[in-house]
Structure 1
Amino acid sequence: MAKSDQPIIIKKVKKAAHGHHGGAWKIAYADFVTAMMAFFLLMWLISMTTKEQKIGLAEYFAPPNVSPSNSGAGGVMMGTALDKSGAKSSAARDAAMGAPGQEGAARQTGAGSPSDREANRPAAGVQANHSAAASIRQALQNMPEFAEISRNIVIEVTKEGVNVSLVDQEGRSMFPEGSTQPHERTRRVLEALVPTLRRLPNRLAITGHTAASRPGAARGVDSWSLTAGRALAVREILSGAGLPNDRFISVVGRADTEPVFPDNPYLSPNRRLNIMLLSEAPPLPPNVPR
């Protein structure tokens, strides 16, 4: 039988290996794990803090140059904050300029009555307090040399006014243990705040606090004398830096009777000194009846 001249073809199938996927999935997974850790840490902090502490944290991280109210008129910012809907003319100014219908509307609604002006004073006071707190935060931000100690300064707006607290933290205190005189860094930041405090109309109430002594601890300086002495020392520093004496309304020591953490009065943040800028009624123009 004759041999076929057709060539024999042998096919070899090569299996190709899968391409390299890269490491992008590892980065995405790491970001996911980090986000979950931050979320659970946030949930833990929310569950462990009180309402007052949440307010203090919100005030601490609030932008210092933004007023929470719609307008800055009458406050420390002197009207630099803008209203949401733009510039508006007040009823009093329109009436003075002879705007038609304004006088009759004021008589009908009683907007110009003394009782309504008194009712508007609390809102103006709250607005002024937020502006004052923003001014103090801005002053601290303008002093980068005190960036580390600024973590020990808590500024919050309360119903009494603006509270500036010098708070001890673990590993960093504002006063040496058992001493009524502050550390040099505390003295310097107090002196640096005086120009801002001078521009504010508020009177000051200074109060010293301390933590409770642990059972069995050696008895040291009397807590009443210690807190009162620290409050007096802060008043002397502010006064010596140029704050007028008539701006102080009270200087007292509370010992350990008002802890920030009542469930654990031994914690170091209970050692603090409060400088309260008391709410002041905004002055009325001299031609407005009181």
Structure 2
Amino acid sequence: MSKNGQSLIVVRKKKSHKHGHHGGSWKIAYADFMTAMMAFFLVMWLLATSSPQQRQQIAEYFNMPLKAALSQGNKDSLSDSVIPGGGDDVIKQSGEVFKQTLRKIDREKSVQNLKRALDKLESLIKNDPRLSNYAANLRLSLSDDGLLVQILDTQDRPMFRVGGVRLEPYMVGILQSLAPVLNELPNLISLTGHTDSLPYAGGSAGYSNWELSADRANASRRTLVAAGLSPDKFMRVTGTADIMVLENTQPTDPSNRRISILVLSREKEKSIRREYTSQNIVSAMQQIEQTQAQLKTVASPPGIEQTGSAILNQEKVEQDGRK
């Protein structure tokens, strides 16, 4: 205490250290930085170890579904995913983007193969005497259905004996030249025979341009197989008589007597398969309906109901007579 009786209060201040504690916020920032760096190195590692095709699939996974969804595009699959092209595991073999990519690559490869075949055939027509001498009888074209090779008649140079199915020697040479090129392609073939609109004058009863066109198509098929073309290459062989007339020609023009060899594109091949599958389903349904109708007829033959009604009426009359 002081002399005058008043108490003294001593306040002591604690000296702060020169390098004091600044809190834990820096730890959060450092953790975010390390997470970002780990994600960056992970992405770099994936890019370094993945193939170009896998990178394309990953890019399509992030781009295509969102673009289709934002543009209100139609879905290309039966998936229940909200995003068109999406679905579970979309970049792997069970995913839709992967399958669409494979279909696109397969379609582009098929088109490239057909273009190369077209170039090869054009070169053959110029250099092979069996073809170059008959260039006016050959037409080549490439469409969405595939590569079409047409062998046409002319007035002075028919491909078959008049009114018959026997091939002329130069027609045999043409098919022999085409066989190796067609055999190299993985695509299937549709072979069609055509005639002009002049009535068939062969004299055979019931034989018409329909039979003639089909027989000529089959004769051409046999010649191609004999020349080395695999029998499994043919998807269908048909005759269409004179119903498919060439553009800018009269139905009676000799050029309408022709053989068409269509090297089918992948899409056309699938379309034909679906067409025949649907026809088989319809035919099966019709057979089932006919069988059901026959069973009903057997179960309830005509006249049974009338006979039963007659018996009931007779019993009723007899009962009335007894009364």
TM bucket (normalised to shorter chain) is 0.5 to 0.7
CA distance in 2, matches of 1:235, 1:129: 20
Query: Does the 8 A contact of 1:153 with 1:165 survive in 2?
Result: yes
What is the distance in 1 between the residues matched to 2:126 and 2:248?
31
Q: Which amino acid aligns with 1:159?
A: D
Does residue 1:167 correspond to 2:152, yes or no? yes
Match of 2:50 in 1: 96
Pick closer, same or farther for the CA change 1:246–1:168 going to 2, 3 Å.
same
Tell me: CA distance 1:105–1:203, structure 2 relative to 1, closer, same or farther (3 Å): closer
TM-score norm. by structure 1 comes to 0.56
Q: Are residues 122 and 222 of structure 1, via their aligned partners in 2, closer, same or farther at CA, if it must alter by over 3 Å?
A: same
CA contact under 8 A between 2:113 and 2:185: conserved in structure 1? no
- The 3 A distance-change label for structure 1 pair 103 and 247 is closer
In structure 2, C-alpha distance between the alignment counterparts of 1:187 and 1:141, rounded to whole Å = 18
Q: Does structure 2 conserve the Cα–Cα contact (< 8 Å) formed by 1:167 and 1:174?
A: yes
Identify the residue that residue 234 of structure 1 maps to in structure 2.
220
Range that drifts further, 131-140 or 196-205: 131-140
Matches within 5 A, 1:1-290: 96=50, 105=59, 107-109=61-63, 113-114=97-98, 115-213=100-198, 222-261=208-247, 264-280=250-266
- Tell me which amino acid in the other structure corresponds to 2:114: N
Query: What is the TM-score of this pair, normalised by structure 2?
Result: 0.51
Question: Offset of 1:262 from its aligned partner?
Answer: 7.3
The structural deviation recorded for 1:118 is 2.9
Structure with the higher helix share, 1 or 2: 2
Task: State the alpha-carbon separation in 2 of the partners of residues 130 and 162 from structure 1.
Answer: 8
Secondary structure at the aligned position of 2:141 is classed as: strand
Conserved? CA contact 2:193–2:213, under 8 Å: yes
CA RMSD, aligned part only? 3.1
Q: Which has the higher contact order (CA 8 A, sep 6+)?
A: 1
Aligned partners of 1:155, 1:98: CA distance in 2, in Å?
Answer: 36
How far the C-alpha of 1:208 sits from its partner, in A, is 0.4
Local SS of the residue matching 1:155: strand
Deviations 1:163-202 (A, max 9, x none): 1101112322211211111110110121122111111111
The superposition leaves residues 85-108 of structure 1 with CA deviations (integer Å, 9 ceiling, x where unpaired) of: xxxxxxxx9863589x87864553
| Runs (5+) with no aligned partner, structure 2 | 1-46, 66-90, 92-96, 268-323
> Could you say which structure has the larger radius of gyration?
2
| Structure-2 residue corresponding to 1:87 | none
Q: How much identity, in percent, do the aligned residues show?
A: 28
User: Structure 1 regions of 5+ residues with no counterpart?
Assistant: 1-92, 282-290
Distance 2:181 2:221 in 1: 16
Maintained 8 Å contact 2:140/2:148: yes
Q: Which amino acid aligns with 1:128?
A: N
Q: Contact between 2:130 and 2:173, CA under 8 Å: does it hold in 1?
A: no
1:223-276: CA deviation from partner (whole Å, max 9, x where unpaired): 111111110100000111111111111111111111114762111111111011
Cα distance in 2 for partners of 1:94, 1:259 equals 58
- Contact conserved, 2:57 with 2:101, CA < 8 A, in 1? no
